[in-house]
Amino acid sequence: MDKLTKKEEEVMKILWKLQKGFVKDILAEFPDPKPPYNTISSMVRILQEKGIVGYKQYGNTYEYFPLLTKEAYRKRYMKAFISDYFDDSFSKAVAAFIEEEPLDQQEIAEILKIIKSK
């Protein structure tokens, strides 16, 4: 699975939040100015064709729901991100994040706790 486009991610974030919804429900969650209805409808159909979104049909209306969980997507994306930008090195990735945003003692303690539990 390829990384989702920004627009696809926006739609998926809304579907993950709603758990299921019609195009009008998804559109209602977008901030103003809202994209056109047809744009969201097309995006959802593309996600459905990619096997990321499923649907239930009610006559001529479709209710969509995510087939891919947010957690599963995050894991795939993070693995690819670390591979592409940090030579498959988790420690290089963590070091880069720490250089960009210094951590306080509580955050360091939380990270160490997570590492020790693995």
Domain count of the fold of the chain: 2
Instruction: Tell me which residue range forms the domain holding 20.
Output: 6-66
φ, ψ at 41 (rounded to 5°): -60, -45
- Write down the pLDDT at residue 34: 95
- Write down the pLDDT at residue 99: 83
Integer Cα distance of 118 and 23 in angstroms: 41
Integer Cα distance of 85 and 68 in angstroms: 24
Helix (H, G, I), strand (E, B) or coil at 102: coil
CB atoms within 10 A of CB 7: 14
pTM recorded for the entire structure: 0.76
Last residue of a domain, one of 31, 49, 66: 66
Let me know whether 76 and 62 are in one domain: no
- Write down the pLDDT at residue 1: 64
Low-confidence ranges of the chain (pLDDT < 50): none
- 1 in any annotated domain: no
